[in-house]
Structure 1
Amino acid sequence: MTQSTDPAAVDPSIPRVVSASREIAAPAAVIFELIADPAQQPRWDGNDNLASAEPGQRVHAVGDRFAVTLTKGTLRPNHVLEFEEGRRIAWTPAPDDVPLGHIWRWELEELGEGRTRVTHTYDWTALRDEARIRRALRTTETNLLASIDRLKALAEAS
């Protein structure tokens, strides 16, 4: 019998779903456009992991695919798993059409008067690759808030 070196398997108290929320003084439609257009994502990526994305990949439905170039120069294909225009979008990185087991999710709630609550979630409950698990452990609420704060600055300046 081999023992898992997956830190979350060893310690089940380690959360595999991390979320952060913040209110933004901009309409949900403005914020959603920044999220659903992969070419905009490097502008607000709080992990400083995204270098660029080709224009013309705007997401419109579950099943859509888009690709971003990582700062390491690797092209990262993504599959859209959840989509509700102006309200919710989630994708999973899927090199070689194989999902890696983690999901990036954005949910927007209109609060009225041009304000929106934005929730960003990183869900790695299905992640099994040990190297990726080590990186997943470093994705904290602080990282997610960094993305929201950059998104906030862009949306509120629009």
Structure 2
Amino acid sequence: MTATEETKVVSATLEMAAPAPTIFEVIADPSRQPAWDGNDNLAEAAPGQRVHGVGEIFRTRLTNDSIRDNLVVEFEEGRRIAWCPSNEGQPPAGHLWRWELEQVDESRTLVTHTYDWSQLHDAKRVERARSTTPDKLSASLEKLAATVESV
């Protein structure tokens, strides 16, 4: 991997005071994602789209009113989920959002949030991709922690 490619993968990690299954349930339910989106990009997602495996597609509406289809490309219940977004009805644009959970003990979990745009092939999305920094990922982690730690 070249240095240029390395800058196209950003991540942030936070230890949360909640068990992995509790946190994963919130991440895997797209209807709950807008509440803890640190990019302030997600407006809503219909209920009933809880993700259960690779190959599923869930749909979200963004704050600019556009619709995103999100193809699930990695899934391990309670531990890892990743999806590739695309414009409605189009193939994925080549970027990926990933969540990885590592249970520390029965009440604490290390959560890593990664944004990977190393395969992005839609030039119109590059500027937005560059603006997705570890700080923005940390904002999502902090909002997620506030959500799951209050349960």
Check if 1:91 corresponds to 2:83. yes
Aligned to 1:16: 8
Deviation at residue 113 of structure 1 after TM alignment: 3.3
Check if 1:139 corresponds to 2:135. no
Aligned length: 148
TM-score, length-scaled by structure 1? 0.90
Aligned to 1:8: none
Q: Which runs of 5+ in 2 are unaligned?
A: none
Does the residue aligned with 2:100 lie in a helix, a strand or coil? strand
Check if 1:100 corresponds to 2:69. no
Contact 2:5 2:118 in 1 (8 A): no
CA RMSD after TM alignment: 1.3
Does the residue aligned with 2:92 lie in a helix, a strand or coil? coil
Letter paired with 1:149: E
Check if 1:35 corresponds to 2:27. yes
Residues 49 and 111 from structure 1, CA distance in 2 versus in 1: closer, same or farther, beyond 3 angstroms?
Answer: same
Deviation at residue 129 of structure 1 after TM alignment: 1.9
Query: Alpha-carbon deviations, 1:24-58, whole Å to 9, x = none?
Result: 00000111011000000001000000000000000
TM-score, length-scaled by structure 2? 0.94
Q: Which runs of 5+ in 1 are unaligned?
A: 1-10
Measure, in 1, the Cα distance between the counterparts of 2:14 and 2:136. Answer: 13
Does the residue aligned with 1:76 lie in a helix, a strand or coil? strand
Deviation at residue 12 of structure 1 after TM alignment: 2.7
Which residue of 141, 145, 148 corresponds with 1:152?
145
Measure, in 1, the Cα distance between the counterparts of 2:75 and 2:10. Answer: 20
Measure, in 2, the Cα distance between the counterparts of 1:145 and 1:55. Answer: 25
Bigger-Rg structure (1/2): 1
